Structure 1
Amino acid sequence: MSGDRQMIAMDRHDALAMVAGVAFGRVVFTDQALPAIRPVNHVIDDESVIIRTHLGSALSAVTGSSEVGVVAYEADDIDPDKRLGWSVVITGMAEAIEDEATVARYEEILRPWVSRPMDRVIRIVPKIVSGFWLAESRGA
């Protein structure tokens, strides 16, 4: 295996498509003035990242009633042996979805992986989307 690798930038469309193709990622937010990261499953809907959480969570506090918070969302698929794959970071505003019909729709299509009630649906509206492929260098 050659050790030569290069990072190839993705455009916004490709980056969102890659995130849509995996089941989970990590949401980064501020908790007590410090960075916090939580693994979550997600769906992509009209460029937004949709996740679920519970009302008492630290992430839920970031998106309190009618508030929005700045978050980052990261997903990737990198083969550690081949050192090939991709990574995407989405930075944007997180907001709690309050519309009952919309919440019900997301509760149907986004099932939490943990056994506890997830009574909050959060929409992350992307402002900055950056991604790259980790690929073999040309000529390698």
Structure 2
Amino acid sequence: MSERTMEKIPREESLRLLAGTAMGRVVFTLHALPAVRPVNHIVDDGDIVIRTHMGAAITTAVSGHDTVVAYEADAIDLDDHLGWSVVVIGPARVVHDEQEITRYRRLLRPWVAGSMDHVIRIRPELVTGFRLVAAGRAEEPADA
């Protein structure tokens, strides 16, 4: 197998890649330590939207105020070692508007069974995307 390099992905394309996948990982602070949870998502008007339940750690972490979180999704082929990874950092907040909540209940079906009555919206402020490509194909070296 040939060597691989990483190339930067522009913000707009990074958000498009996120919108094209249904699963990612939200990273937040829990008891002063980093916590990571896999969740399914949609991208709506440039924001990442997830549904969760009242007792979920992420719901508690962002309840009542904007809390900075990271969100990561990727698609990397384990056989040929090619693909992409996108990380978004920005404030997360619980959505309280009933019309928005109803809309997201229609648009986003959680993969986990149970009552997922809470909606969290993550507004991307920093968006970093990288594509893992065959050596010699990269257009711009990455600052990995």
Q: Which TM-score bucket, shorter chain as reference?
A: over 0.9
Identity between Structure 1 and Structure 2 (%): 51
Which SS does the other structure have where 1:55 is aligned?
coil
Q: Which runs of 5+ in 2 are unaligned?
A: 138-144
Aligned to 1:78: 76
**Distance of 2:71 and 2:63 partners within structure 1:** 18
TM-score by length of 2: 0.93
> Who is 1:124 aligned against?
122
* Deviation beyond 6 Å, 4+ runs, structure 1: none
Q: Say which structure is richer in strand.
A: 1
Distance 1:127 1:30 in 2: 18
Aligned-residue CA RMSD (Å): 0.9
Q: Is the 8 A contact 1:12 1:130 kept in 2?
A: yes
Aligned residue pair count: 137
- 1:78-101 CA distances to partner (integer Å, 9 max, x unpaired)? 011111000000000000110000
Instruction: Supply the distance in 2 between the matched residues of 1:57 and 1:113 (Cα, whole angstroms).
Output: 15
Q: How does 1:92-111 map to 2 (within 5 A)?
A: 92-111=90-109
Distance 2:57 2:40 in 1: 17
Distance 2:83 2:106 in 1: 31
- 1:67-86 deviations in Å (ceiling 9; x for gaps): 11110000000011111000
**Unmatched 5+ stretches in structure 1:** none
Q: Where in structure 2 are the equivalents of 1:1-140 lying within 5 Å?
A: 1-2=1-2, 4-65=3-64, 67-138=65-136
3-state SS of paired residue (1:16): helix
